[in-house]
Amino acid sequence: RFLKSVELGAGVFCLAYRRAIMDGGRAAAVFLTIVGLGVAARSFAWLVDGRPATAFIVFLVLEALVFVAVVLHLRIKNGPRPA
């Protein structure tokens, strides 16, 4: 139940701040952290528990694709960060 409530909270955050996420800044950083940690947690679970169900793998891939898509969008919109 705890993890379901955490994911619900993350989903509500994403809906409430969707424009701010796509504009970059703090909301985007929080969003990318949430998604990145979700991908890392699912990957770790796969390593520890063995091959998961197909739905688990689908959600892992979709989360990773969302992460990449948002990063690419922000790079195109804001330009690459100076080194």
Q: Is the pLDDT of residue 1 over 70?
A: no
Q: Is the pLDDT of residue 58 over 90?
A: yes
Return d(Cα 37, Cα 3) in angstroms, integer.
13
**If you write DSSP's letter for every residue of 34-53 in order, what string do you get?**
HHHHHHHHHHHHHHHH-S--
Percent of the chain with pLDDT over 70: 93
Which one has a higher pLDDT value, 41 or 6?
41
pTM of structure: 0.82
31 CB-contact burial (10 Å; exposed 0-12 / middle 13-18 / buried 19+)? buried
Which one has a higher pLDDT value, 7 or 59?
59
**Per-residue confidence (pLDDT) for residue 32, from 0 to 100:** 94
Q: Which residue has tokens 């796509």?
A: 22
Q: Which residue has tokens 């800044």?
A: 25
